[in-house]
Amino acid sequence: MSILAQIAEHLQTGDDEHVAELTREALEQGLEPKHILDTGLIGGMTTIGEKFKAHDIFLPDVLMAAKAMYAGMEILKPRLIAEGIPSLGKVILGTVQGDLHDIGKNLVGIMLRGVGLEVIDLGNDVAPGRFVEAATEHGAPVIGMSALLTTTMPAMSQVVALVKEQGLAGKVKIIVGGAPVSAEFAREIGADAYGFDAANAVERVKALISEN
């Protein structure tokens, strides 16, 4: 098995120590950092996303894989930064105001980072204006919001309204998700997309960025 296939394999079992060790070894063998990232780390994470989507694995498996991915990325980071690998795009992410649930939002963030997107994570309990400010400050084309409470879902429509008020509609696209959120709700409030799970969120965000 090639060293990159081994990295992908160990990432899927959440073996962060081996992922770090093999990533270091791959660099020593002269492999390109971007090739190690795309084929080894992102390759492994993509399989994790597919398995999670198919319900073949569960949340703890994804979190373990994410930890292993970070271990490999830590080794590659100095080389990737030095070589100036461009990000696929920026996404502002957060859980809406009044809502402290952040597990799903963090999973979405991990999966987005896994495909090479730059995620600016504002955390949880994020005020509507903060999402819009951050999008302007970072020049991000996408805002992603998560809500787990029916009582906090209206905060999502406040962000959509603010984006329109500030003349950013079309330039800044909005994706919403979370257990009580539906595609119908997303349409009703004028959001650009709805993600039903983390893997679907990745597909939808990539589509929104390519539309811009």
Give the binding site for ligand B1M (CB under 6 A).
59, 98-105, 107-108, 144-146, 148-151, 175-180, 195, 197-198, 201
Q: Compare residues 9 and 99 and give the one whose CB is closer to ligand B1M.
A: 99
Rounded to an integer, what distance in angstroms lies between the CA atom of residue 56 and that of residue 152? 31
Q: How far is residue 34 CA from its own chain's centroid?
A: 19
Q: Compare residues 36 and 62 and give the one whose CB is closer to ligand B1M.
A: 62
Q: Is residue 140 helix, strand or coil? A: coil
Q: How far is the CB of 14 from ligand B1M (least distance, A)?
A: 17
Distances (CA, A) of 177 to 22, 119, 188: 36, 16, 14
| Residue 70: exposure state from Cβ atoms within 10 A (0-12, 13-18, ≥19) | middle
Q: How far is the CB of 158 from ligand B1M (least distance, A)?
A: 16
Q: Compare residues 10 and 113 and give the one whose CB is closer to ligand B1M.
A: 113
Q: Which residue has the tokens 């994804």?
A: 62
Q: Compare residues 16 and 121 and give the one whose CB is closer to ligand B1M.
A: 121
Q: How far is the CB of 124 from ligand B1M (least distance, A)?
A: 7
Rounded to an integer, what distance in angstroms lies between the CA atom of residue 24 and that of residue 27? 5
Q: How far is the CB of 99 from ligand B1M (least distance, A)?
A: 5
